[in-house]
Amino acid sequence: MQAATLPQFGDATAFQITEIPMPKPAAGQLLVRVKAAGLNPVDYKTRSGKGQASLFTLPAILGWDIAGQIVDAGQGAHKFKPGDRIFGMSNFPNPANAYAQFAVVQEQEFTLVPDNITDEVAGATPLAALTAWEALFDHAQLRAKQRILIHAATGGVGHIAVQLARNAGAVVIGTASAKNHPYLQELGASQCIDYREQRFESEILEPVDVVLDGMGGETTLRSLDVIKPGGVLVSLPSMYKDDPAIVGKAREKGIRVIWMSVRPAGDRMEQIASLMEAGKLKIKVDASFPLREVSKAHQLVEGHHVQGKVVLIP
């Protein structure tokens, strides 16, 4: 089979398309024909030698989001049958080898793709949707009528978080470039802030209960100024968790700051699939690329101007 392999960590041009042996499923595992593999910021961070790079040996195959069709099953794997379409986040943060024509996955981390959802959309979903869900409901414990500020609100995690928050009855404020404001309003945001031209802390007139921060650094520090005492900030970039300015300011203002790392969850994927099937959660695919154009896909994601998600089609 073909795979996009990484002989060494580096820039987006480091990938090579190579022929490698077909994997075989062990007990509790499934062999799937990969129909779509979603890209996430952790992919390019890992490719560059950061992110989860310490967990990989070279040459490496990146990627964790997989939508595919079951070809074979290992002993004891009985939740699905050959031919079923499934999707999930595989083996994160350890290698999952998603950038390939076939991959072996853990049965319990996956669920069925709804009939009305394409492989492309399914492949774009898992990591971002699981992250948004965990951030909002497990960590922030978001409730109806609470106010939430979501940064990068039209990006991969952001556009899903806006919808989940609105479904929960929260009031959503989102930061995005001005050209993305119409889309952000479609998603359900009550207020849109242009991060390029406006200071969000000046535009938010009433404090918020929760901030979902996908940016980190100065954005995290400034976000503490708009959160109520006793409120919560959930930050996705973990490199700032020991920043004394952030830690000290949060303690001073009585704000809980959580740096999170998502984990696979097949049961939660079932809940996400139900929302997608009912039309209550719509995943936006900005662009898709064949496997041989993996470098272009990484360059697009790394440019931070994607509306929704980018996927590879092996």
- pLDDT cut 70: percent of the chain above it: 100
Token couple for 71: 């070809």
Confidence tier at 192 by pLDDT (50, 70, 90)? very high
On the question of pLDDT at 298 being above 90, the answer is: yes
pLDDT in tens, 52-96: 999 999 999 999 999 999 999 999 999 999 999 999 999 999 999
Confidence tier at 305 by pLDDT (50, 70, 90)? confident
Residue 287 CA to residue 228 CA, distance in Å, equals: 38
Find the mean pLDDT for residues 233-245. 86
Q: What angle do CA 265, 271, 272 make, to 5 degrees?
A: 85
Find the mean pLDDT for residues 124-143. 98
Q: What angle do CA 204, 234, 297 make, to 5 degrees?
A: 95
Structural domains in the chain?
2-125+283-313 (3.90.180.10), 128-259 (3.40.50.720)
Residue 241: its pLDDT value, please?
79
Residue type, 293: E
Burial per residue of 19-37, b for 16 or more beta-carbon CB atoms within 10 angstroms, e otherwise: eeeebebeeebbbbebbbb
On the question of pLDDT at 12 being above 80, the answer is: yes
Residue 227 CA to residue 254 CA, distance in Å, equals: 10
Residue 85 CA to residue 62 CA, distance in Å, equals: 21
Q: Shortest CA distance to 65 belongs to which of 40, 30, 45, 101?
A: 40
pLDDT in tens, 28-53: 999 999 999 999 999 999 999 999 99
Alpha helices in the chain, H assignment, sequence order: 41-47, 119-124, 126-133, 156-167, 181-187, 200-203, 218-223, 244-253, 266-277, 294-302
* Residue in this structure with the two tokens 């948004």, named with its chain if needed: 132
